[in-house]
């Protein structure tokens, strides 16, 4: 039987929960080995979250043998550790297109399967979902249905998890909390909760005081012990926590020996060996400049929400261990504690994935902004980020941050402007500042002439006669805007491309330049609603400049996963598409029929 199932995995034949329930213990152990080998073989090629999934193979199999999904609701906190769940629920054939446009998502997806309840990828939320499902079960007298939330010890560093536990324990509704304790979030888990989990009682006293019965600690790789623990949990009749201790990356030597994150995520393997980006990455450019500034200024401190290495603070922590603070997966706490440090005379820098700052907007607005605290937010992975999909695109940051009074926002176009922006942010008082940049390799530095507080990348800032098209390029979109300008001018259309450098507030000079052009376009990889294009329109209206403006940006929809370049093309944010839009706008302004280049 075990050989048959291993072959079915290799050949892409779907497995289902009933198949797993039918296995003997010996067969199940062999199947676990087959699943682990399947993950390594496929995820190393496709890229994705490897270490976290290798650690939950036995835990996932035991869940699906003990419970009956989807009638029993299994909710995966963060969701990056749901690959084994996908294998067991019929999706092993889809791993050939994992995280590829049109292929399988790297997170649970309601479109893929009835077994996926929550398209979750932000931490500390599963317990709140579980509480809600349990409330619905109670109201509908659905006593036979179980609600299971799988949450890591890293996610327990987030405040929302404790808000949910406060309610789950008090109400005594049937919720089974499966604690996947591997000592990690992305970085090693921080805080007193982590210490309590490794006391002699595994922290059971803490959870029992909150009203949860505790089972364990259990060896999270012992299938018999896991099934026994889950069966006990089913009989509890109220909230219960099953504490499972697992090893991240188990069974794959490179993951087990990776001291940074146990191969939490791996990039896709290419046909040819990948070479290091010749110009480095955006994150590396930030990291290097921050180190230089910190050497000059002892008041510079850094704060991270459990993402020390991904956001470029690894070398900072090595050099200045007393000046970096990892608060765990607690973005809200990161922002408010940074505000207090700023009040005390320090200059906090908070590097964070753009998508995760969404969670702390209230703190940014009222704890930081209201008090005019000079905290600098460095928004990594802004805009369209690629393979991680809807929850990870950083396409809302400009719209959100523009609301904050006294906020100043820079969108650098290259490494040189990023470095200058960081220095200016840290010299700015009177309110928070932000820098946003995308994921990936730096483009070439683009030459420009400074004029009236902005950069002219192409054309003339103050032409003696009206020009045809003004393109307002936001950040990393500058390269595509220049490509559009070359194409338009090849067709006899005069073009000016400007980079405002600071996209909020926009320099008034952009209105003066727009007045000297027949039409204008703004180009950004933020959502159209409330972005730089909106600000541009508002500025022209306020200054009574009548130049028609077209805003090119991300449509207000949750964008899928896929290659960044392909997604930008689908959104009309490539040089060719920008040129087409500019030509159509110009023809419309002149009363002519626009033509299509066929792109």
Three-state SS at 175: coil
Contacts of residue 384, Cβ cutoff 8 Å, sequence gap at least 6: 393, 395, 438, 525, 554, 559, 564, 567, 568, 571
Check: CB of residue 500 under 8 Å from CB of residue 507: yes
Based on its alpha-carbon atoms, the radius of gyration of the chain, rounded to whole angstroms, reads 26
Q: Which residue has the tokens 């797993």?
A: 20
Structure tokens, 280: 């480095």
Find the catalytic residue in 359, 413, 419, 528.
Answer: 359
Find the catalytic residue in 65, 248, 413, 436.
Answer: 248
371 is in an annotated binding site: no
Burial class (CB in 10 A: 0-12, 13-18, 19+), 343: middle
353 is in an annotated binding site: no
344 is in an annotated binding site: no
How many of the other CB atoms lie within 10 Å of CB of 267? 11
| 359 assigned to active site | yes
561 is in an annotated binding site: no
Three-state SS at 200: coil
Strand ranges, E, within 396-494: 408-410, 433-436, 449-451, 454-458, 467-473
Phi, psi (5° rounding) for residue 469?
A: -130, 130
Q: What is the largest CA-CA distance in the chain?
A: 84
Q: What's the CA gap between 178 and 214, in Å, rounded?
A: 10
Phi, psi (5° rounding) for residue 567?
A: -65, -40
Q: What's the CA gap between 115 and 456, in Å, rounded?
A: 53
Q: What's the CA gap between 38 and 44, in Å, rounded?
A: 10
Phi, psi (5° rounding) for residue 116?
A: -100, 110
Find the catalytic residue in 287, 331, 480, 487.
Answer: 331
449 is in an annotated binding site: no
Three-state SS at 303: strand
Contacts of residue 211, Cβ cutoff 8 Å, sequence gap at least 6: 168, 169, 170, 172, 239
Measuring CA to CA, which residue among 519, 407, 425 is closest to residue 472? 519
153 is in an annotated binding site: yes
Strand ranges, E, within 201-288: 213-219, 240-245
Q: Could you tell me the CA-to-CA distances from 449 to 114, 413, 415, 500 in Å, in that order?
A: 56, 14, 17, 12
Region of residue 79 (left: phi > 0; alpha: psi -120 to 50; beta: else):
left
Three-state SS at 368: helix
Q: What's the CA gap between 308 and 283, in Å, rounded?
A: 12
121 is in an annotated binding site: yes
Secondary structure letter of residue 447 according to DSSP: P
Measuring CA to CA, which residue among 286, 364, 300, 282 is closest to residue 331? 364
| 599 assigned to active site | no
80 is in an annotated binding site: yes
| 135 assigned to active site | no
Chain Cα centroid distance, residue 191: 23
How many of the other CB atoms lie within 10 Å of CB of 564? 17
470 DSSP β-pair partners: 496, 520
Phi, psi (5° rounding) for residue 399?
A: -65, -40
Three-state SS at 526: strand
Q: What's the CA gap between 272 and 485, in Å, rounded?
A: 34
Give the annotated binding-site residues for Mg(2+). 153, 182
Binding residues, as ranges, are 80, 121-123, 153-155, 182, 252, 331
Annotated binding-site residues for thiamine diphosphate read 80, 121-123, 154-155, 182, 252, 331
Active site residues: 248, 331, 359
């Amino acid at each position: 039987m075990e050989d048959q199932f291993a072959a079915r995995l290799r050949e892409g034949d779907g497995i289902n929960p009933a198949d797993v329930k039918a296995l003997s213990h010996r067969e199940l152990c062999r199947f676990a080995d087959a699943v682990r080998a399947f993950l390594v073989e496929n995820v190393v090629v496709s890229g994705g979250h490897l270490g976290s999934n290798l650690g939950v193979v036995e835990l996932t199999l035991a869940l699906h043998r003990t419970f009956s999904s989807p009638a029993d609701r299994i909710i995966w906190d963060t969701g990056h550790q749901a690959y084994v769940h996908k294998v067991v629920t019929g999706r092993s054939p889809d791993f050939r297109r994992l995280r590829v446009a049109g292929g399988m998502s790297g997170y649970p997806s309601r479109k893929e399967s009835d077994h996926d309840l929550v398209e979750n990828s932000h931490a500390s939320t599963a317990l709140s979902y579980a509480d809600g499902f349990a409330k619905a079960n109670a109201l509908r007298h659905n006593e036979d249905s179980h609600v299971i939330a799988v949450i890591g010890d890293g996610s327990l560093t987030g405040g929302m998890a404790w808000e949910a536990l406060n309610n789950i324990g008090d109400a005594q509704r049937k919720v089974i909390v499966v604690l996947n304790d591997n000592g990690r979030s992305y970085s090693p888990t921080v805080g007193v909760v982590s210490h309590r989990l490794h006391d002699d009682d595994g922290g059971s006293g803490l959870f029992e005081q909150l009203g949860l019965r505790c089972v364990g600690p259990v060896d999270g790789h012992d299938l018999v012990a896991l099934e026994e623990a889950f069966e006990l949990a089913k009989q509890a009749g109220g909230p219960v926590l099953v504490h499972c201790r697992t090893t991240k990356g188990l069974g794959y030597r490179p993951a087990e020996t990776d001291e940074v994150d146990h191969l939490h995520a791996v990039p896709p393997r290419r046909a040819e060996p990948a070479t290091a980006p010749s110009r480095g990455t955006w994150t590396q450019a930030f990291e290097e400049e921050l180190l230089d500034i910190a050497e000059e200024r002892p008041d510079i401190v850094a704060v991270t929400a459990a993402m020390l290495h991904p956001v470029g603070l690894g070398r900072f922590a090595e050099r200045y261990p007393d000046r970096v603070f990892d608060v765990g997966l607690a973005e809200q706490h990161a922002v408010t504690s940074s505000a207090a440090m700023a009040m005390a005379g320090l200059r906090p820098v908070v590097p964070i994935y753009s998508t995760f700052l969404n969670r702390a907007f209230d703190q940014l607005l009222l704890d930081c902004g209201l008090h005019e605290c000079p905290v600098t937010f460095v928004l990594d992975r802004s805009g369209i980020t690629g393979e991680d999909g809807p929850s990870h695109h950083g396409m809302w940051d400009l719209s959100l941050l523009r609301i904050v009074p006294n906020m100043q926002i820079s969108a650098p176009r290259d490494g040189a402007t990023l470095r200058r922006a960081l220095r200016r942010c840290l010299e700015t008082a009177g309110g928070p500042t932000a820098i946003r940049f995308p994921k990936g390799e730096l483009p070439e530095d683009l030459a420009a002439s400074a004029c009236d507080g902005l950069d002219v990348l192409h054309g003339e800032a103050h032409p003696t006669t009206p020009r045809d098209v003004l393109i307002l390029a936001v950040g990393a979109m500058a390269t595509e805007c220049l490509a559009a300008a070359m194409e338009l001018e090849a067709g006899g259309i005069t073009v000016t491309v400007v980079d405002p450098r600071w996209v909020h507030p926009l320099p008034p000079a952009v209105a003066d330049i727009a007045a000297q052009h027949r039409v204008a376009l703004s180009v950004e990889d933020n959502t159209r609603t409330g972005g730089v294009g909106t600000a541009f329109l508002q500025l022209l209206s306020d200054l009574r400049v009548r130049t028609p403006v077209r805003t090119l940006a991300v449509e207000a929809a949750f964008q899928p996963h896929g290659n960044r370049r392909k997604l930008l093309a689908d959104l009309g944010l490539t040089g060719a598409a920008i040129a087409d839009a500019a030509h159509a706008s110009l023809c419309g302004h002149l009363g002519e029929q626009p033509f299509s280049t066929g792109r």
